[in-house]
Structure 1
Amino acid sequence: MIAVQCKMARVALGWGVRDLAKSAKVSPDTIARFERGEHLRSATIESIKMAFEMAGIEFIDENGGGAGVRFAKPKADASD
């Protein structure tokens, strides 16, 4: 996950910096630093990414196009 994906994911969910910080169990300043492009520990970035994934966001790698985010396809119910 890169900084612009973090911003896009927050907008997609309608989350502010404080909402993401609470979900990722980091400080709002940490989120702001990341979105400004400052270096964070990989474990911190992983915590932020996991918070988004738990909320239904999927990250798209830069594979010929730009990096992005989208809502994950709902998982099939095991009872179906």
Structure 2
Amino acid sequence: MITSDQIRAARALLDWSREQLSKKSAIGISALMRLEASEGVPAGNIKTFAAVQKAFEAAGIEFIGTPESGAGVRWRL
């Protein structure tokens, strides 16, 4: 499961606005705002997280670590 910090970091790494992420993931901007505003692993629908993660991964982002230890993002090698 990805964390809100990872979502914000991935968006920053790609220099994507919330609007861009919304279009690429087919998730509403208000839902994205709620995910990013949370601490740790945000509450939400698994399909929402999967869509966001898939959009980032398609753009070359890799999620590393776990929510409990060293969660982060980097460019996929």
TM range (shorter): 0.7 to 0.9
Q: How high is the TM-score relative to the length of structure 2?
A: 0.87
- One-letter code of the match for 1:67? A
Per-residue deviation at 1:39? Answer: 1.6
Structure 2: give runs of 5+ residues left out of the alignment. none
Relative to its length, the structure with more strand (as a share) is 2
Q: Percent same amino acid at aligned positions?
A: 33
| CA RMSD, 1 decimal | 1.7
Output the TM-score relative to the length of structure 1: 0.84
**Residue 55 of structure 2 is aligned to residue 54 of structure 1:** no
How many equivalent pairs are there?
73
Higher RCO structure, 1 or 2 (CA under 8 Å, sep 6+): 2
Larger radius of gyration: 1
Distance 1:31 1:42 in 2: 13
